[in-house]
Chain A
Amino acid sequence: MELKHFISINDLKKEDIDFFLKKAGSMLELLESKKSVNICRGKILATLFFEASTRTRLSFECAMHRLGGSVIGFADAGSSSVSKGESIADTIRTVESYSDIIVMRNPFEGAAKVAANNCSVPIINAGDGGHEHPTQTLLDLFTINKKKKSLSNLTIGLCGDLKFGRTVHSLAKALSEFKGNTMICIAPHELQFPEGIRKKIEDTGTKIIQTDNLKKAIARLDVLYVTRIQKERFVSEKEYLRLKGIYVVDRKMLEKANKDLIVMHPLPRVDEINPEVDRDSRCVYFQQAFYGVPMRMALLSVMLKCEK
């Protein structure tokens, strides 16, 4: 498997996704065995976060440290030359000479491609605005596969902001590559899947059911993927306040669900999942976040060509 840059989940074919699921599985075993790993010793990862995302950055940094490599970088643009107006291309051309691989997050859509065009070392896109965040998709797939032992023939509920939610679009597209899945899209009419994305997914033979009723849908689900309704997507405050609390996963809601349902969330959450259910074994979102580490270890080691 060769991957020069990882900009979009579309950079991976289904076989590549299968490969990374397997690879992340063996990284997870390594982590669980507590053996120290030195696969990437002597390699340097640069984390360039033009926009803060503590969770994603720490996950990448943890992954690199676990592989025995080192990390340099900045956590938000305010502290770097970027705030003085340096271009992405110039920042990348400087940092590539300090590092063996670069992870970048940037608020502008398409920024990762600009970086890749100007970079001789591999670039991993850790989010470019509302455009792509492919490592999130991989860790979501890894979580589902780990918990359900398959990525096919599942009934997956996608709940929350399906209109603007980037993670949900990429996840739905990736899941539609696997056979026999049904997606139940749970969102108010205003926040349902964009027509274009829905069509693309249906063209693969994946069944899509749209509803605004979580209570009714939850009993049918193998996976419930909840997303945050983001304030910055709304023009009016009133509209946001009306929609933000519309779905809440709490104890009462989970009473209606299968006992082997899994509840996922890309985090951070606001109030769409009540903390009272955190100890319910069906709620796997913290484990999901942790699975980002073995998945990113898999990516880093493959892209650095440091496989054993």
Chain B
Amino acid sequence: MEEKKVRNIIDGTVIDHIKPNCAMKVLSVLRDIDHECIIVCINTDSKKHGRKDLIKIENKFLEEQEYNELALISPDATINIIKNGKRVSKEKVKTPKHIKGIGKCNNPRCVTNCQNMETEFDVISIKPTVLRCSYCESTAEYKG
């Protein structure tokens, strides 16, 4: 019933069902939001999960990289697109199988840590999110 606690947005995105206490982490991966109106709820009640975080951002629509990072941080999050004050779509994020340019490999001997290059990982499990480096093949849990 969060709609009653905080105001609605006209055009933009509502990211709902974010893992509790992860909203700030999610905000940190969203780009070009410095001048937008952002409403953040942390540890609000959720019908499904007990507690959840929620973010509403005016005039913001996620790009692929942001979407992928959100899915890694909070695999159960849902994305609602709002246009003219109406919700035009609602979908649960899908965790990508392969990600590029997100995160750093934990292996200090990994080539990605000594060359100026993008990291790449295969997502080998969700909950917990475990990534395997496409170069050195070492695996580690994604901590955001």
State the CA gap A131–B109 with chains docked (Å): 10
Q: Is B135 a contact partner of A114 (Cβ separation < 8 A)?
A: yes
Interchain CB contact under 8 A, A111 and B111? yes
Main secondary structure of the interface of B (DSSP, over half): loop
Assess whether B99 is interfacial by the CB under 8 Å rule: no
Asked if B28 CB lies within 8 Å of chain A CBs, one says no
Docked CA distance A88–B111 (Å): 9
B115 interfacial by beta-carbon distance below 8 Å: yes
Could you tell me which residues of chain A, from 75 to 94, have a CB within 8 Å of some CB in chain B? 87-89
**Cα of A249 to Cα of B107 in the assembled complex, Å:** 34
Number of chain B residues whose Cβ lies closer than 8 Å to a Cβ of chain A: 16
A residues 144-196 touching B (CB-CB < 8 Å): none
Residues of B within 8 A of A130 (CB): 109
B112 CB to nearest A CB, Å: 7
B117 within 8 A of A: yes
**With A113-B135, A131-B137 in contact, do A107 and B109 touch (Cβ < 8 Å)?**
yes
Determine the chain B residues whose CB is within 8 A of the CB of A87 once the complex forms: 115-117
Shortest beta-carbon distance from A104 to chain B in Å: 12
CB neighbours of A108 from chain B (8 A): 109-111, 113-115
B10 at the interface (CB under 8 A from A): no
Write out the residue numbers on chain B whose beta carbons fall within 8 Å of the beta carbon of A110.
Answer: 110-112, 133-137
Whether A114 and B115, one on each chain, are in contact in the complex, defined by CB atoms closer than 8 angstroms, is yes
How far apart are the CA atoms of A269 and B137 in the complex, in Å?
28
C-alpha gap A108/B111 in the complex (Å): 5
